[in-house]
Amino acid sequence: MAITLEQIHYTYSPGTPFARVALQGVTLTIEKGDFVALIGHTGSGKSTLIQQMGGLLQPSEGKASVDGIDLSRKEKEIKAARGKIGIVFQYPEHQLFAETAYEDIAFGPRNLGRSPEETDRAVRRAMAQVGLDFDTFAQRSPFRLSGGQMRRLAIAGVLAMEPAYLILDEPSAGLDPRSRRLFFEQIVKSHKQQGMAIILVTHNMDEAARYAQRLLVINEGKLLYDAPPREIFAKYQKELEEVGLAVPAAARLAAVLRARGVPVPADIITEAELEKFLLTWVKKRGKK
């Protein structure tokens, strides 16, 4: 049970002067329960890739499937597959449309043909997951909420489809540090409790380092690296910079300390790890 992409190629407007190659031979598998971060600069092919995973674009070449369902089949047949994959696009609050929050969240499950009882249960659960109180918000107009609440409502609309795989495209863009932290706490909880696979597209290397178990780096339509973040951030600092990316702030700080002669191990990529190391190191040094 997995999302598998085999040798996916994709070209926009093929055969015209405006043809643009977006993906060239991407092969990867995302297992149930994975927490994957996908990084790459703008135009590297990230958004094309997630649209392939969600069956929203047909590959020019290659094969994409979800839990064994071939995504190149007809509209009707891949509808079942779409139900397994939830995609939260950038600025998801811009897709809200219904008269009440309840109706908006129920849109997905109803489209998937769920019964009214199932839908109701899914809506309540999704609202609880994103921290929107049912009694307070269910009958409110989506357009009367604050920016942060709208974002959470839109995410609930995707969660209500109870996808096995959740793709999040820059979900924390524009949020302040506190909202950002709260958001990820909720996502990590959903990931752990329901075993939902998460594919996090982000520009924020700290988020990738802190939350993902696996990191995909994409550049010019090709998969550059596919390994645990610790390995990639420790080994390929220079290569990442060359493709317009960076390492997490903690890894950068670690590098500065290392250059000074502080023996920080190469595999430290989060602030918590660096703090733990420095505490033991300073104390050890104090004893000498």
Partner 1 sequence: MLEVQGLKHYFTDEQGRTVKALDGIDMHVDDGDYVAVIGESGSGKSTLARHFNALLQPTEGRVLVDGMDTAAEENLWAIRSRVGMVFQNPDNQIVAAIVEEDVAFGPENLGVPQPELGRRVREALAAVGMTAYAQQGPYLLSGGQKQRVAIAGILAMAGRCIVLDEPTAMLDPRGRREVLATVKKLNEEQGITIVYITHDMSEALAAKHVYALEKGKVALAGTPEEVFSETDELERLGLEAPPAGRLAAKLRKAGIKINGNIIRDEELAEALWP
Partner 2 sequence: MLSDITLGQYFPGTSVLHRLDPRSKILATLCFIVIIFIAKSSASYILLCAFAICCALLSRVPLKLIYKGVKPVFIIACLTALIHIFSTKGGEVLFSYGIVTVTALGVEMGAKMALRLLLLLLFSSLLTYTTSPIVLTDGIEALLRPFKSVGVPAHELAMMMTIALRFIPTLLEETDRIMKAQTARGADFAGGSILTRLKSLLPILVPLFVSSFRRADELATAMEARCYRGGEGRTRLHELAYGTLDGGCLAVMLLLTAAMAALRWLS
Binding positions for partner 1, rule: CB under 8 A: 41-43, 144, 146-148, 173-179, 203, 244-246, 249-250, 252-253, 256-257, 259-262, 271, 274-275, 278-279, 282-283
Nearer to partner 2, 69 or 234 (CB): 69
Task: Look at residue 108 and give the partner it binds from partner 2, partner 1, none, a contact being a CB closer than 5 to 8 Å depending on partner kind.
Answer: partner 2
Residue 2: CB minimum distance to partner 1, A: 29
Task: Look at residue 179 and give the partner it binds from partner 2, partner 1, none, a contact being a CB closer than 5 to 8 Å depending on partner kind.
Answer: partner 1
Integer angstrom CA distances of residue 238 from 24, 235, 242: 23, 8, 6
Nearer to partner 2, 62 or 92 (CB): 92
Nearer to partner 2, 62 or 86 (CB): 86
Task: Look at residue 144 and give the partner it binds from partner 2, partner 1, none, a contact being a CB closer than 5 to 8 Å depending on partner kind.
Answer: partner 1
Residue 108: CB minimum distance to partner 1, A: 26
Nearer to partner 1, 9 or 252 (CB): 252
Q: How many CB atoms lie within 10 A of CB 221?
A: 23
Task: Look at residue 143 and give the partner it binds from partner 2, partner 1, none, a contact being a CB closer than 5 to 8 Å depending on partner kind.
Answer: partner 2
Residues near partner 2, by CB under 8 A: 12-13, 16, 18, 20, 51, 54, 56, 75, 79, 82-83, 85-87, 89, 92, 94-98, 107-108, 111-112, 143, 157-158, 161
Nearer to partner 2, 45 or 86 (CB): 86
